[in-house]
Structure 1
Amino acid sequence: MSAQNVQIAMGRTPLRQKIDMYFTNLGLGLNPYALRRARMREIISLEMKSDAQLARMGLSRDEILPHVFRDLLSV
């Protein structure tokens, strides 16, 4: 199985779509592929944590993407 066939999903929304929607909601007209690919390991690592673990880090699940891309975007 090639890596291109693997789909990662958190809940009902695939992670790739979740990231694309994050950028869409910010009103950015860019293709986030390179940004997503560069930061996917950190995103997955945070998504795998429990809500309690995220809370100890001062994050909620909805704050993962803004946290990961915080150096690029001030929202």
Structure 2
Amino acid sequence: MSQRPPADYLERRQPHIQPKSREFLVDYLTETHAELRLHAESLFVTVFLLDSYLDRHEPVEARKLELVGITAMFLAAKYEE
């Protein structure tokens, strides 16, 4: 995969999302990952896809952040599993 997005991408690109919201989402995705017993690589790819999407696309509403995260997990599982 390519490089990680810069650490400040939330401030620059996602005005509706607080860093704490991303932290809660990653915790939720980690719990879901464990519950579904996916490969470790799937979680890494999930977080990479989430960060890449948030860095490169139009602002996401805070209420749709979980949907973006779960979609990233679905795509990562399709790729890794």
| TM-score, reference length from structure 1 | 0.43
Higher strand share: 1
Greater radius of gyration (CA): 1
| TM-score, reference length from structure 2 | 0.41
Q: Which has the higher contact order (CA 8 A, sep 6+)?
A: 2
